Structure formats: structure tokens, C-alpha cells
């Protein structure tokens, strides 16, 4: 177990002058700590495996590689928090080097030494490692001190664990346990780091007459400095030997305790975050989970419906609060914080799945009890995926929310306002309660015929979508887009009465059976048509056809209108438009920008019409949802709450001299026009679709403007 150091070599002073009983005690404690650690790991894995199997870690090696790259580069941790990300990097690399260093000592001392007589922990290797360990210790302590400052003095709202959707009498209101745990964790690591340096320093003082130690002291620069200081203050080798014993044991016991408590505390994020990142679904924002609609049950209503991956997800959360800050529902005062949702699930799992036995009955997840998810929380979501986008540890909140909504829809537990919408979708394939026959009515406003893609081949099949077909304001945009396509000489057609909604919002609201029926019907129809590619002005339709239809056998080339327009301008199919003298800002639709990465084409179109683009504070992948997604456009917002669109309109209003808030989605148009009115900005700037701005630059807005005036709400003439 212990071997004499070779007097010819410099090496690590480890158990020097330890009596046997002390060595035995140390090894007993160390082995005990490791056993406690291993038991904890096993019990956590048992907890995750009480969920369903996801298979999310295959293929294993590529996923492992991607995860290590993310962790080593700290890509996800540094996003939108560069300083905290850097501090975490200091802690991470400090800790990792110290951990590797300590592990190799164990390897040398307890494995290769006793087994083969090979000791590598000496000479140059030792000296370089000694230096590296000192620097790592500095890095660790520095990072930790910054984090203490950040938690203690910066008062960041994202680190406030109080739940905005609970009242002070609720037991899960302030979550002060988390705060105490954070501080205990920080102090524990700082003390381990500091005692490490101190033990190094007193060892040098103690062995200052041993040239093998003292002459090489500057390879441990921090320890050497402290040792100089201590010696200068009059510490003698004998006294140092006593201090060394006390500090050595303090450091050792703390470090071993740290290892033992890893699986039981937030420290476990070391492992859970890596496991979670490894299981991350690159399409989590784009594609909601497939479900067997023929099965007995659908969706998640019980904790054991959650997969092992999701149970690991909720354990990986480090409460960094980035999702809490990004969520439009939370920002508008709705009872949803993605962070709190995840933490409720975590605590529920810890309360129920951690024991040796499973609880007797089903573990209901949705309800009003402590750590249960309230239905109104689930209905607050806009499916904008801002939470999934920014989560540094790969938590996939959105699919979990949709899964829980599925069980609510199946049980019929939802806002009664949603029922007419869903019935209309079942009956006529649109969400606006209109008849199928009315869908192509907007084409009557055109002075040319649009081809019927059902009966003749077209180059481009235009999937119009619900709002673009029926909403009176969006109809004008739809007509405008048709004129632009005509002007560019595009061979295009539509599906007339037979088009039904693509189903993005139907799926996200949780009506999976209806979504699948719509998808199957639409794909059958599309497969009967002859076309080269699909275009749509609706980012929701775009997302679903692009990302969700392939799973149902619908594989198409699809472009969003803005990408197509950018291409047509670039290719010269649309003549260089005139310059418009506007100061504009651009609102990225979630389903186009963040979810599908189409952020630059719309900006290039803006550039080509010569407007001055002033970016909003939150844009591109950090765009702030208008509030329409996830079926929320069908549900009334309570009047006492601010609408996300109003917050967004207020953000735009901060831009001095703004003429136009440019949107690029029929639903954003609908919501933001209301938002602009709701914030009293009606006279200050206009809300226009990108298409409308381009049409103006092309001079198309003048032509035929008089016969425009899309379908007004209400009944049109009866023909007999």
C-alpha cells in the first residue's frame, strides 16, 4: 500500500510520517466515500430507468464526441452569459486538472506501484504536474470567487428562485433549499482549494531542510509563496509538521466528502449535464415526438410516462435561469417558467422514484399538488422553443410540455374556447371555423387565374396556410405574394379547397390524433400532385412540412417565401426593386428564425429594398415570441396580463424614428398589429409583412390596390 520514496528522485510527499493507524483510517474513509458515491450513482440511474426507454444515447460514439466537444469548448454555457461562462470554464478546467492529478496519484500509489513496482509520479512528470495543479487550483478558486460575487452581489433576476406562479404560503414558493445548496457547494469547493494550497505550503515549511523538496519548491508557485510568507512570519518546521497534519486531514476529508455527496446534490450536474447533452435531440425544437395514436394511452400524465432521457434532463438543470429569462409566457406574467417546470418534475421524481420500491399507485404529474404541473402552466406555452434553444445542458422542455398537453387533450381538460377551434379543424381542416369551400375565396380578388396544382403540373406548389387564407389582414399579404410570384414569372399553383392546415399548432396544442390525420391527408394530396418544390408564407406550415412530414412519408423541398424572394432577387428574376426610405426593424418569427435558422434571407430582402434596418434588442435565435404559437392564438389572453406581443411592440417602440415593424408570418402580423394597438403605438409605426414592403418597392402596391380590400369579416353575397 505504501512504498518508500526513492531518495534519488524528487516526488510527491504523500503519507510521509503517517503512523499505520492513520493510513488505515484514511483508506477506510476513502473507500467508504467511494462506496457512497457509487451507491448514489446507481440509485440515480435506477431512478432514470424507471421512466420509459428512449434510446437517446445511440449512436453512442458520435454522440459522446459531440458532447465532449460542447463541454470542452463550453459552447452552450457561454451563450448569452460570457462572463459567467468564462468563470465556469475556469472552475471546470481547474477542477478537471486537479481531478486528473489526484487520480494519477492514486494510480501511482495504489495500482501501478503495488502491482508492478512502477512509479511515474516523480522527476519531470511530477514537477510539471505540480505546476499544473497549482495553476488549476488558482483557476478553480478564481472562478468560484467570481461565482460567489455573481450570486451574492449581482442580484440577477435569472438567479432568483422565487416562483412567480406561486404565492408565499406555497411550500415550493421560495426554494430556499436551492440557495443554501448553491452556497454550500461554492464554499465547499473554495475551502477544498484553499486548504490544498495551505497543506502544500506547510509541507514546504516542514520539509525546508530536505533539498529534494525545498529546492524544487517553485514548481508549486502558490504553495512556495505561502511557505515563504509563513516562514517569514516565523513558522518553524516542527510547528509546520503539526499544522500539516491538521490541514492534510481537513483537506482530505472535505475532498472525500465532496466525492461522496456528488450524486445526492447539485454537484451531480457534472454527470447529468454530460448525459443530458449527449442525449440532446438536434430536432427537439422542430419536431414534436411521434406517438402511437392507436395505443391505449397517449401523452404524459404519469411520471413513469416520461422517458429516461427526460428524467435525466430534469436532473441536469443547474437553475441557471436562462430559459426563465427567455420565456415569453414568463415575461408576460403567465404561470409558466420552463425552469420551474423542470424543477417541479425533478422534485417529484426525487420524492417518488428514489426509493428502493416504487410507490403503489400511478404517480400523477398534472395537478395542483406540490411539485405537480398545473394545467394552466402547460397551456401558457407558446412553443417558441426559446427555452430549448438556450438551455446549456440540453433540457428539452417543449416536447415534454406537448406530451403533457396530449394527455390533457385526451382527457378533454382544456380551455373551452379551444373546443370550437378543434371541432372546426376536424370538420373543415381550418382553425377559423370556415367552410372548406371558402379557403380559396381570396383568389377572386386577383386579376389573373392561379393554377390548380391538383389538376396540372406546376413548378412551385404554394401551400397557403390557414391565416393566410382566411384572416382578412393576412389575405391582403397573400394577394400581394401572388402578384409578386406572377411578376417574377413563377409557374405556381395552389390546392384550392383541398388544402387543410398543415397542423403545426394542432400538434403543439396536443391533439396528436388530429395532427396525424391532417398530415396523412395533406401528404396523400401532395403526393398526387406534380411539382418541384413547395413555398409558404407561414413559418408554422414551413416548419411542419419541412421537419415533421418526413416521418409520415412526405419528403419535399420547401422554402419559406422570404428565402424564395431573396433567391429571386439574387437571380435577377425580380428586377432590382426601388429603394424605400424607411427606418425599419425586423421581428424574427420563432418558427423561421430560431427553430429553422432562416434569419439572413429576410434581412437580405430588406437590404435590397434599401431600408435602414435597426435590429431589435432580441433578434435571430433570441427573438421574442409574438405569443401566437402552440395554439395560443386560438385562446384568449386574460385582460389583466400583458400580451407577449405588447412587450414586443414596446421593444420596437424604443427604436427612435421607427417607420415599420417588419414581420414575416401571418400569425405574427395578427398578434403584433394588436400589440401595437394595445401599447398605443398605432400612430407611431406600421406593422407590415416583408412581402408587402417588397411589393411596394416593386411598385406592385399601386397596381390593383383599388380592387383590393380583402374579404371583410361577415357574410358575403349569396349566389343562387
Residues that bind other proteins (CB under 8 A): 293-294, 298, 409-410, 412, 414, 416, 418-419, 422-423, 426-428, 435-438, 511-514, 517, 715-720
CB 632, min distance to other proteins, A? 18
User: In what order do the strands lie in the sheet containing 460-462?
Assistant: 451-452, 492-494, 460-462, 533-536, 558-560
Give 435's contacts (C-beta < 8 A, 6+ positions apart): 428
| Closer Cβ to other proteins, 284 or 509, answer by number | 509
| Closer Cβ to other proteins, 133 or 514, answer by number | 514
CB 435, min distance to other proteins, A? 4
CB 719, min distance to other proteins, A? 6
| Closer Cβ to other proteins, 433 or 575, answer by number | 433
Residue 679, CA distances (Å) to 333, 341, 616 in order:
17, 30, 17
Q: Helix or strand or coil: residue 333?
A: coil
SS3 string, 487-507, reads: HCCCCEEECHHHCCCCCHHHH
Pair 505, 633: CB distance under 8 Å: yes
CB 433, min distance to other proteins, A? 10
SS3 string, 511-576, reads: CHHHHHHHHHHHHHHHHCCCCCEEEECCHHHHHHHHHHHHHHCCCCCEEEHHHHHHHHHHCCCCCC
Give 661's contacts (C-beta < 8 A, 6+ positions apart): 584, 585, 587, 649, 652, 672, 676, 685, 686, 687, 688
| Closer Cβ to other proteins, 35 or 417, answer by number | 417
| Closer Cβ to other proteins, 634 or 685, answer by number | 634
CB 453, min distance to other proteins, A? 21
CB 607, min distance to other proteins, A? 43
CA distance 601 to 564: 8
| Closer Cβ to other proteins, 488 or 519, answer by number | 519
First to last CA, the chain: 101
Pair 233, 8: CB distance under 8 Å: no
CB 454, min distance to other proteins, A? 16
Cβ count near 24 (within 10 Å): 12
**What helix, strand, coil percent values describe the chain, rounded to 5?**
55, 5, 40
CB 462, min distance to other proteins, A? 23
The 8-class DSSP code of residue 337 comes to: -
| Closer Cβ to other proteins, 221 or 513, answer by number | 513
CB 510, min distance to other proteins, A? 9
Quickly list H helices, 156-283.
176-206, 211-214, 221-232, 237-261, 269-278
CB 268, min distance to other proteins, A? 38
Pair 187, 194: CB distance under 8 Å: no
| Closer Cβ to other proteins, 113 or 513, answer by number | 513
CB 506, min distance to other proteins, A? 9
CA distance 380 to 402: 11
Nearest by Cα to 263 from 589, 40, 67: 40
Beta strands 660-663 and 451-452, pairing class: unpaired
| Closer Cβ to other proteins, 142 or 513, answer by number | 513
| Closer Cβ to other proteins, 702 or 715, answer by number | 715
CB 599, min distance to other proteins, A? 35
| Closer Cβ to other proteins, 147 or 298, answer by number | 298
CB 716, min distance to other proteins, A? 6
DSSP string, 2-32: --PPPTTS-B---STT--HHHHHHHHHHHHH
Pair 392, 338: CB distance under 8 Å: no
| Closer Cβ to other proteins, 520 or 600, answer by number | 520
CB 329, min distance to other proteins, A? 23
| Closer Cβ to other proteins, 246 or 293, answer by number | 293
* Cell output for 584: 425599419
Give 228's contacts (C-beta < 8 A, 6+ positions apart): none
Pair 643, 627: CB distance under 8 Å: yes
CA distance 568 to 582: 22
| Closer Cβ to other proteins, 25 or 716, answer by number | 716
* Cell output for 257: 466528502
Amino acid at each position: 500500500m505504501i512504498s518508500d520514496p526513492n531518495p534519488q528522485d524528487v516526488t510527491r510527499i504523500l503519507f510521509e510520517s503517517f503512523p499505520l493507524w492513520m493510513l488505515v483510517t484514511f483508506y477506510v474513509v476513502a473507500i467508504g466515500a467511494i462506496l457512497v458515491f457509487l451507491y448514489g450513482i446507481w440509485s440515480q440511474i435506477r431512478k432514470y430507468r424507471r421512466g420509459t426507454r428512449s434510446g437517446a444515447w445511440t449512436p453512442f460514439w458520435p454522440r459522446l464526441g459531440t458532447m465532449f466537444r460542447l463541454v470542452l469548448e463550453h459552447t452552450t454555457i457561454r451563450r448569452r452569459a460570457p462572463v459567467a461562462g468564462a468563470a465556469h470554464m475556469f472552475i471546470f478546467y481547474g477542477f478537471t486538472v486537479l481531478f486528473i492529478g489526484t487520480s494519477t496519484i492514486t494510480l501511482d500509489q495504489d495500482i501501478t506501484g503495488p502491482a508492478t513496482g512502477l512509479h511515474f509520479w516523480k522527476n519531470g512528470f511530477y514537477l510539471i504536474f505540480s505546476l499544473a495543479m497549482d495553476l488549476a487550483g488558482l483557476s478553480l478558486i478564481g472562478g468560484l470567487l467570481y461565482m460567489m460575487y455573481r450570486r451574492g452581489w449581482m442580484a440577477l433576476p435569472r438567479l432568483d428562485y422565487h416562483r412567480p406562479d406561486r404565492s408565499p404560503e406555497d411550500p415550493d414558493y421560495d426554494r430556499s433549499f436551492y440557495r443554501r445548496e448553491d452556497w454550500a457547494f461554492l464554499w465547499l469547493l473554495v475551502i477544498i482549494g484553499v486548504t490544498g494550497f495551505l497543506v502544500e505550503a506547510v509541507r514546504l515549511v516542514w520539509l525546508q531542510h530536505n533539498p529534494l523538496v525545498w529546492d524544487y519548491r517553485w514548481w508549486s508557485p502558490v504553495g512556495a509563496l505561502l511557505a515563504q510568507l509563513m516562514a517569514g512570519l516565523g513558522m518553524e518546521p516542527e510547528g509546520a509538521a503539526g499544522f500539516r497534519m491538521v490541514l492534510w486531514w481537513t483537506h482530505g476529508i472535505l475532498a472525500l466528502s465532496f466525492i461522496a455527496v456528488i450524486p445526492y446534490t447539485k454537484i451531480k450536474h457534472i454527470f447529468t449535464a454530460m448525459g443530458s447533452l449527449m442525449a440532446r435531440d438536434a430536432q427537439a425544437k422542430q419536431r414534436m415526438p411521434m406517438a402511437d395514436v392507436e395505443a391505449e394511452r397517449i401523452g404524459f400524465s404519469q411520471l413513469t410516462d416520461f422517458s429516461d432521457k427526460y428524467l435525466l434532463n430534469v436532473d441536469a438543470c443547474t437553475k441557471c435561469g436562462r430559459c426563465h429569462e427567455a420565456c415569453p409566457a414568463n415575461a408576460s406574467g403567465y404561470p409558466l417558467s420552463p425552469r420551474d417546470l423542470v424543477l417541479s418534475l425533478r422534485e417529484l421524481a426525487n420524492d417518488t422514484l428514489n426509493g428502493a420500491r416504487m410507490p403503489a399507485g400511478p404517480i400523477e404529474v398534472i395537478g395542483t399538488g406540490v411539485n405537480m404541473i398545473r394545467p394552466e402552466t402547460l397551456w401558457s406555452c407558446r412553443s417558441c422553443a426559446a427555452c430549448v434553444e438556450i438551455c446549456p445542458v440540453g433540457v428539452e422542455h417543449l416536447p415534454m410540455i406537448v406530451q403533457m398537453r396530449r394527455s390533457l387533450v385526451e382527457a378533454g381538460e382544456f380551455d373551452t374556447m379551444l373546443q370550437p377551434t378543434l371541432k372546426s379543424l376536424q370538420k373543415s381542416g381550418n382553425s377559423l371555423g370556415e367552410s372548406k369551400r371558402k379557403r380559396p375565396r381570396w383568389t377572386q380578388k386577383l386579376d389573373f387565374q392561379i393554377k390548380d396544382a391538383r389538376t396540372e403540373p406546376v413548378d412551385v406548389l404554394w401551400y397557403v396556410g390557414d391565416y393566410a387564407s382566411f384572416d382578412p389582414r393576412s389575405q391582403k399579404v397573400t394577394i400581394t405574394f401572388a402578384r409578386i410570384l406572377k411578376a417574377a414569372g413563377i409557374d405556381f399553383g395552389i390546392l384550392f379547397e383541398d388544402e387543410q392546415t398543415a397542423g403545426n399548432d394542432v400538434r403543439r396544442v396536443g391533439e396528436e390524433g388530429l395532427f396525424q390525420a391532417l398530415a396523412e391527408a395533406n401528404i396523400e394530396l401532395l403526393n398526387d400532385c406534380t411539382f418541384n418544390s413547395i413555398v409558404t408564407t407561414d413559418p408554422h406550415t414551413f416548419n411542419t412540412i419541412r421537419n415533421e412530414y418526413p416521418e409520415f412519408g412526405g419528403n419535399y423541398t420547401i422554402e419559406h417565401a422570404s428565402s424564395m424572394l431573396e433567391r429571386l432577387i439574387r437571380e435577377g428574376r425580380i428586377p432590382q426593386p426601388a429603394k424605400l426610405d424607411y427606418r425599419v426593424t425586423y421581428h424574427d418569427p420563432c418558427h423561421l428564425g430560431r427553430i429553422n435558422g432562416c434569419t439572413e434571407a429576410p434581412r437580405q430582402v430588406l437590404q435590397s429594398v434599401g431600408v435602414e434596418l435597426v435590429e431589435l434588442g432580441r433578434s435571430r435565435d433570441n427573438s421574442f415570441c409574438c405569443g401566437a404559437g402552440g395554439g395560443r392564438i386560438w385562446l384568449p389572453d386574460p385582460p389583466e396580463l400583458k400580451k407577449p406581443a405588447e412587450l414586443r411592440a414596446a421593444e420596437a417602440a424604443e427604436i427612435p424614428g421607427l417607420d415599420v415593424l417588419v414581420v414575416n408570418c401571418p400569425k405574427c402580423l395578427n398578434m403584433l398589429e394588436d400589440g401595437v394597438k394595445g401599447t398605443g403605438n398605432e400612430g407611431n409605426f406600421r406593422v407590415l409583412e416583408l412581402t408587402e414592403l417588397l411589393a411596394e418597392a416593386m411598385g406592385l402596391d399601386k397596381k390593383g390596390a383599388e380592387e383590393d380590400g380583402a374579404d371583410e369579416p361577415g357574410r358575403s353575397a349569396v349566389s343562387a
